[in-house]
């Protein structure tokens, strides 16, 4: 006996006109509310969005993208702009901070490829506040926004993101919690320490010049501390923190722990040379960030231009899906950052003097070899 089941009826598409009729508002009000536009009050937006969800309304991303383009053509008749907000630095400070200038290069290149003009807005400008900047962006119909990272550590930005397709580069903007693109700090440090062991370095020291509390600081130190955990206690070199980065404390640290190679920043590279140490020679060195001098050293390539490019793509995906404001579940895109060879490390394994017996490599094979 064959049991016949009724065929499932295809789901009918719910239109904005039907939502408007049930809500007792105009179709344009529904359109504005579903795009989170501030021209409709928050209470009305919430009412319409809730009703649309209950009625099973689903956005057609292709239609949304076309309509967004048509609206832009009507209202502006010029290339769309993407706002890049610099929260901490002025123009001179930006020019002197390599990581952020590289991110901006990546943003400009990707934005230009898809037809957006990039405009920089500095919160350090006289009279500029987040609230005033928001008013400027809304008045100029700039919907795409990228928050640039802080140069001096983590921070917040008290700016209403309602109606914006927004993302940030790096980990330093902790609020608002936006989608973000970041270097892969853990991968870079894993690869670097693994490579140093392949070169037969036994005593690897870390002088940390990042500010405490940031995700980058935590990820880099986590990788190093895992490496240390695999060593006998007598062989573990303590991390020298930022507050001890001076010639006196570094001299004492080197004398006490005798590192064969130091992982740190260009600031420490200069201090080591100022102490009369030859690099390479007396000590070897790996740069935490190769966007800053010495750029030809061995070390970590954060690929900041790619970070900027991926941040633009996060904004563009929100345009396509008509998603605005702070996301309920922000996502993090990690770019494929890696270690890089340079003049401060040997190209072949060295036979370095060691007080102990030969040791086997204890770390992960981060480079897939």
148-171 pLDDT, tens digit per residue, is: 999 988 999 999 999 999 999 999
pTM flag (> 0.85)? no
Among 354, 349, 351, CA closest to 235? 354
pLDDT at 343: 97
3-state SS, residue 72: helix
- Classified as helix, coil or strand, 263 is strand
Structure tokens at 109: 């290149």
Length of the chain equals 369
For the chain, give every domain's residue range.
16-58, 81-183+304-338, 185-302
**pLDDT above 50 for 13:** yes
163: left (phi over 0), alpha (psi -120 to 50) or beta: left
Predicted confidence (pLDDT) per residue in 243-270, tens digit: 999 999 999 999 999 999 999 999 999 9
Look at residue 332 and tell me whether its pLDDT is greater than 80. Answer: yes
Question: Whose CA is closest to 52, among 73, 36, 76?
Answer: 36
70: confidence class by pLDDT, cuts 50, 70, 90: low
The CATH architecture assigned to 81-183+304-338 reads: 3-Layer(aba) Sandwich (3.40)
Q: Specify the pLDDT at position 69.
A: 58
For strand 179-182 and strand 261-264, is the pairing parallel, antiparallel, or unpaired?
A: unpaired
Cα torsion 247, 217, 144, 140 to 10°: value is -40
Residue of 295, 314, 306, 334 lying closest to 185 (CA atoms): 334
**pLDDT at position 1 over 50:** no
DSSP state of 236: P
The whole-angstrom separation of Cα 105 and Cα 28 is 38
- β-strands 155-156, 117-122 pairing: unpaired
> Do the domains 81-183+304-338 and 185-302 sit in the same CATH topology, yes or no?
yes
**CA–CA distance from 279 to each of 198, 248, 346 (Å)?**
19, 19, 11
Task: Answer yes or no: CATH 2.60.40.10 is held by domain 185-302.
Answer: no
> What 3-state DSSP class applies to 254?
helix
Mean pLDDT, the chain, integer:
88
170-191 burial: b if 16+ Cβ within 10 Å, else e: bbbbeebebbbbbbbbbbbbbb
pLDDT on residue 4? 40
Q: Measured in whole angstroms, how far is the alpha carbon of residue 182 from the centre of its chain?
A: 3
* Local confidence band at 36 (pLDDT 50, 70, 90 cut-offs): confident
- Residues 10-27, mean pLDDT to the nearest whole number: 78
Q: Indicate whether 76 pLDDT > 60.
A: no
């Amino acid at each position: 006996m064959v049991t016949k089941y009724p065929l499932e009826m295809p789901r009918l598409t719910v239109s904005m006109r039907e939502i408007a009729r049930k809500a007792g508002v105009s179709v344009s009000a529904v359109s504005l509310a579903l795009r989170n536009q501030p021209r409709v009050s928050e209470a009305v937006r919430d009412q319409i969005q809730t009703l649309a969800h209950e009625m099973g309304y689903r956005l057609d991303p292709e239609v949304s993208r076309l309509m967004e383009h048509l609206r832009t053509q009507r209202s502006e008749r010029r290339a769309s702009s993407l706002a890049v907000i610099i929260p901490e630095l002025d123009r001179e400070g930006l020019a002197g901070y390599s990581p952020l200038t590289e991110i901006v290069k990546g943003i400009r290149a990707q934005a230009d490829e898809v037809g957006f003009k990039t405009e920089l807005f500095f919160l350090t400008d006289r009279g500029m506040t987040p609230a005033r900047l928001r008013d400027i962006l809304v008045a100029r119909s700039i919907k795409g926004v990228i928050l640039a990272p802080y140069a001096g550590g983590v921070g917040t930005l008290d700016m209403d993101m309602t109606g914006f397709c927004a993302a940030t580069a790096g980990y330093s903007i902790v609020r608002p919690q936006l989608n973000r693109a970041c270097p892969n700090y853990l991968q870079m440090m894993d690869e670097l320490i693994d490579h140093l062991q392949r070169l037969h370095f036994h005593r690897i020291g870390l002088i940390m010049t990042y500010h405490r509390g940031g995700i980058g600081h935590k990820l880099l130190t986590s990788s190093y501390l895992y490496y240390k955990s695999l060593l006998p206690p007598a062989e573990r070199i303590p991390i020298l923190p930022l507050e001890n980065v001076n010639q006196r404390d570094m001299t004492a640290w080197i004398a006490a722990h005798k590192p064969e190679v130091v992982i740190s920043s260009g600031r420490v590279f200069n201090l080591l040379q100022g102490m009369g140490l030859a690099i390479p020679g007396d000590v070897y060195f790996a740069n935490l960030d190769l966007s800053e001098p010495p750029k030809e050293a061995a070390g970590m390539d954060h690929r900041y231009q790619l970070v900027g490019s991926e941040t633009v793509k996060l904004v563009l995906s929100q345009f396509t899906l008509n998603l605005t404001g702070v996301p309920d579940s922000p996502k993090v895109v990690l770019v494929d950052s890696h270690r890089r060879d340079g003049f401060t490390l040997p190209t072949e394994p060295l036979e370095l003097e060691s007080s102990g017996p030969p040791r086997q490599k204890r770390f992960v094979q981060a480079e897939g070899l």
